[in-house]
Amino acid sequence: MSIVKLAQDLGLSISTVSRALNDYDDVAPATKARVFKRAREIGYRPNPGARRLKSGKTSMVGVILPAATDGVRFVDSVASSLLGGVEVELETGGYSLIASMQTRNDLVRETALYENFIKGGWVDALLLVRTRVSDSRVELARAAKLPFVTYGRTETSEPYAWVDTDNEKAFYLATLRQIEFGHKRIALLNGPLEYTFARLREKGYTRALAKHRIQTDRLLMLNGDLNEVSGYALCRALLVSAQAPTAIVCATDAMAIGAIAACRERNIEVGKEISITGYGNSSASAFADPPLTTIDHAVFDNGRHIGQSLLRLIRGEAKPADIHYLEPVVLVPRKSDGPSPKTT
Amino acid sequence: MSIVKLAQDLGLSISTVSRALNDYDDVAPATKARVFKRAREIGYRPNPGARRLKSGKTSMVGVILPAATDGVRFVDSVASSLLGGVEVELETGGYSLIASMQTRNDLVRETALYENFIKGGWVDALLLVRTRVSDSRVELARAAKLPFVTYGRTETSEPYAWVDTDNEKAFYLATLRQIEFGHKRIALLNGPLEYTFARLREKGYTRALAKHRIQTDRLLMLNGDLNEVSGYALCRALLVSAQAPTAIVCATDAMAIGAIAACRERNIEVGKEISITGYGNSSASAFADPPLTTIDHAVFDNGRHIGQSLLRLIRGEAKPADIHYLEPVVLVPRKSDGPSPKTT
DNA sequence: TAGGGCTCCAAAAACGTTTTTGTCAATGAA
DNA sequence: TTCATTGACAAAAACGTTTTTGGAGCCCTA
């Protein structure tokens, strides 16, 4: 099953067989065909370890998934679709995705994990997800001269390859819609501000408010985990405050569903007495009560973009500076928001 | 950074260094310590490719995730937690998880993918998820003499290593609860019967009915995808039928949430006029309206069991026949089910 | 017809480990 | 004193590729 067996079988030298298989052009087309045919028949597969040792190429792309907030989930639902897209593209290039996982989100363990991953020679390229505004991982990858693309942007001196969804526009749109509904007190349930996406969403939110000369109110901008529990808790806190909002723009559908539950608990009718919007257009959002107005963004396509970019980077067909892709977003209006009760 | 550098630096032969690093006992403790110390200082990491070529061990475990029904998701939420647990355990043994993905669920492509994976020498062991009653993958793995553990059982002649949750008991419990509430017409919204888990859930359901001498009715046992859309559609079909059920036991929380939406649409009050239960105890289930009675099963722990089993299998510490673990389930009563309206 | 440039193939080195085999000195028993 | 045993290390082969270098024919031109 090794290349020497195959060479013997064909009466050729191993070098010729190798060059034939790798499609070099100094081997005659007829021989090439003969080699391919026999290789297929005999079921020959190059030993990945040997190839890797010799060529230095691993044909793997690595990703380390951040620990979810409950400490349990391997990937949240968005990373889930994203990786699907990445994998699909990578596969066409003969690459595989090797996924590791952080068990906890502290920085020293993270650094150790990435150091090991990067310097250990496990992968040819890296996918960095859930970027922070200041993210040590990009320096790590850059220092190791390892190609990488980030999902989400970050602040760094040199150009880098990124793919992102238009978080800012998404929250600009969602907030604007509430303003147009006549809402004045609009809350933002956001993720932790260390993450770039949260920063950008806040930016979109404030930009919409500023456009209509609405004063931002720090008390209306809350940060927490991206799940139902957090959405419930934060919304609850909002509802009991002196100046409760009439609209809440949430960072995820899960948060919004938690927020809806909090409203239900207090018999506040969502979509009439209060507006709530989500983000992600998850399948759950369509079946919420009321169906959730949310933001759709093609995260699977984002994954495909990432996969393609990774391949181009690895093959040297592109420089990091060439790879900047901002996926558009579209607002999906449903029933969880509507005109402000004060204006009716 | 290679072992020869390290050996030169230490004034030792590479063989001694290698043996020291691998903790052989024919190297003096003092030398061992010296080697370890210097290796750490110099930041030496064995080249995975070389090690792999020589030893034949890849230090990777492979898993191929089935394509989700929407063709997009890399992993559904349960696989997600599961893989987290697997990864955590594997890491302690120096193993990584390499995840590939099926883009479509047809058998010939699946077989090709697994063939390539298995014979390509990418991994030392395999994790098989979403087992079918008759599952060609286990023969494939067995033929290649590759250790594997399945998540979910299957029908096969020889012993194999499996970890599973007690699907049968889960649906026995859920169904029994409805019977005790006085329900007579209880529907089952299940996954496709080719999957073992679906078969077992049906078995639990029918066993509960049989125990109370309730005739099973094929019209009440529906199969479909495990998501909200499917739950909605199937429930809808059920509600318009001549003999509509008064209770519906669903295969996933997502299905149940879809079913609840279908009831809401027809102004049927869930928990009063109709009972609906889910499975999985997802965070969404707690925030559904009404909060969903569901089944909790520790899928993360299942993952840990799988990871440990994989390691033991690889190390030859256990035989496949030794590894059978059935994770218990517990019913989480909430508000989506209750006494049958006919009995009150 | 000599030389140069092709075309096609082969020899051999190299990648960085692990492992088998061997060596040499020190130790212990006779 | 001699010989076998043991403890600690080293030499060298091997894993299966890729790649560099080389070389044999052949055709073409001058």
Of A231, A232, A220, A178, nearest in space to A341 by CA = A178
The single-letter DSSP state of residue B130 is S
Strand D neighbours among B 27-86, CB < 7 A: 27-28, 30-31, 50, 53-54
- E strand residue ranges, B134-245: 148-151, 161-165, 186-190, 221-223
Residue type, position A16, single letter: T
Tens-place pLDDT, residues A74-132 = 556 677 789 889 988 998 998 998 888 887 778 888 898 898 888 888 999 999 999 99
Tens-place pLDDT, residues A312-341 = 999 999 999 999 999 999 999 999 999 998
Cβ pair B150, B308 in contact under 8 A: no
**pLDDT value at position A341?**
83
Distances in whole angstroms, Cα of residue A101 to Cα of each of A64, A192, B298, B316: 5, 20, 19, 26
pLDDT band at A344 (very low <50, low <70, confident <90, very high): very low
Q: Is the CB of A8 under 7 A from strand C?
A: no
Distance B62 CA to D25 C1' (A): 50
**Looking at the predicted structure, is the pLDDT value of residue B23 above 90?**
yes
Residue whose token pair is 């909200």: B228
B244 in contact with A at a CB cutoff of 8 Å? no
Cβ pair B239, B307 in contact under 8 A: no
What average pLDDT does chain B have? 93
Percent composition of chain A: helix, strand, coil (DSSP 3-state, to 5): 45, 15, 40
Beta bridge partners of A327: A165
B94 in contact with A at a CB cutoff of 8 Å? no
Residue whose token pair is 């080699």: A35
Cβ pair A256, A332 in contact under 8 A: no
Chains A, B: CB contacts within 8 A come to: 167
Distance, in Å, from the CA atom of B242 to the CA atom of B244, rounded to the nearest integer, reads: 6
Distance, in Å, from the CA atom of B261 to the CA atom of B268, rounded to the nearest integer, reads: 10
Distance B124 CA to C23 C1' (A): 37
Residue whose token pair is 């029933």: A335
Enumerate the residues of chain B whose CB falls inside 8 A of the CB of residue A300. Answer: 72
pLDDT band at B342 (very low <50, low <70, confident <90, very high): low
Residue whose token pair is 């492509």: B109
**pLDDT value at position A112?**
87
The single-letter DSSP state of residue A127 is E
Beta bridge partners of B128: B150
Enumerate the residues of chain B whose CB falls inside 8 A of the CB of residue A68. Answer: 84
The single-letter DSSP state of residue A106 is -
pTM score: 0.91
Mean pLDDT, residues A155-167: 97
Distance, in Å, from the CA atom of A80 to the CA atom of A84, rounded to the nearest integer, reads: 6
**pLDDT value at position B70?**
59
Tens-place pLDDT, residues B229-243 = 999 999 999 999 988
Per cent of chain B over pLDDT 70 is 96
B82 in contact with A at a CB cutoff of 8 Å? yes
Mean pLDDT, residues B209-224: 97
Cβ pair B61, B97 in contact under 8 A: yes
Distance, in Å, from the CA atom of A318 to the CA atom of A309, rounded to the nearest integer, reads: 8
Distance, in Å, from the CA atom of B152 to the CA atom of A249, rounded to the nearest integer, reads: 41
Per the rule left: phi > 0, alpha: psi between -120 and 50, beta: everything else, B193 is: alpha
- E strand residue ranges, B41-95: 60-65
Residue B251: HSE in the Cβ half-sphere, 13 Å Cα cutoff: 28
C-alpha B59: how far from its chain's center?
A: 21
From the CA of B99, how many Å to the nearest CA of chain A? Answer: 6
Distance B15 CA to C25 C1' (A): 19
Mean pLDDT, residues B89-109: 85
From the CA of B208, how many Å to the nearest CA of chain A? Answer: 30
Q: Are B286 and A45 in contact (CB < 8 Å)?
A: no
A69 in contact with B at a CB cutoff of 8 Å? no
A332 in contact with B at a CB cutoff of 8 Å? no
Strand D neighbours among A 9-28, CB < 7 A: 14-15, 18-19, 21-22, 26
The tokens for A149 are: 């693309």
Distance, in Å, from the CA atom of B256 to the CA atom of A197, rounded to the nearest integer, reads: 32
Q: Tell me how far apart the terminal alpha carbons of chain B are, to the nearest angstrom.
A: 78
B28 CB contacts (<8 Å, ≥6 apart)? Answer: none
Distances in whole angstroms, Cα of residue A320 to Cα of each of A115, A136, A300, A324: 21, 17, 21, 8
Per cent of chain A over pLDDT 90 is 83
**pLDDT value at position A80?**
77
A187 CB contacts (<8 Å, ≥6 apart)? Answer: A220, A221, A222, A238, A245, A247, A248, A249
**Looking at the predicted structure, is the pLDDT value of residue A174 above 90?**
yes
**pLDDT value at position B51?**
94
Q: In terms of DSSP H, where are the helices of chain A?
A: 3-10, 14-21, 29-42, 48-55, 77-92, 107-119, 136-143, 167-180, 196-211, 228-240, 253-265, 283-286, 299-314
List chain D nucleotides near protein: any atom < 7 Å from a Cβ: 7-12, 14-20, 22
**pLDDT value at position A78?**
74
Closest CB to B53 among A49, A98, A286:
A49
B59 in contact with A at a CB cutoff of 8 Å? no
Distance A13 CA to D22 C1' (A): 14
Tens-place pLDDT, residues A220-247 = 999 999 999 999 999 999 999 988 999 9
B156 CB contacts (<8 Å, ≥6 apart)? Answer: B135, B138, B139
Of B124, B18, B85, B53, nearest in space to B298 by CA = B85
Residue A77: HSE in the Cβ half-sphere, 13 Å Cα cutoff: 19
Tens-place pLDDT, residues B122-166 = 999 999 999 999 999 999 999 999 999 999 999 999 999 999 999
What average pLDDT does chain A have? 93
Tens-place pLDDT, residues B172-196 = 999 999 999 999 999 999 999 999 9
Mean pLDDT, residues B88-104: 86
Of B318, B142, B167, B311, nearest in space to B249 by CA = B167
Cβ pair B97, A99 in contact under 8 A: yes
Q: Residue A308 in 3-state DSSP? A: helix
Residue whose token pair is 């930041």: B43
Q: Is the CB of B16 under 7 A from strand C?
A: no
Of B36, B96, B37, B35, nearest in space to B62 by CA = B96
Closest CB to A103 among B88, B229, B289:
B88
Tens-place pLDDT, residues B70-91 = 555 556 667 778 988 998 899 8
**Looking at the predicted structure, is the pLDDT value of residue B105 above 90?**
no
**Looking at the predicted structure, is the pLDDT value of residue B344 above 50?**
no
**Looking at the predicted structure, is the pLDDT value of residue B58 above 70?**
yes
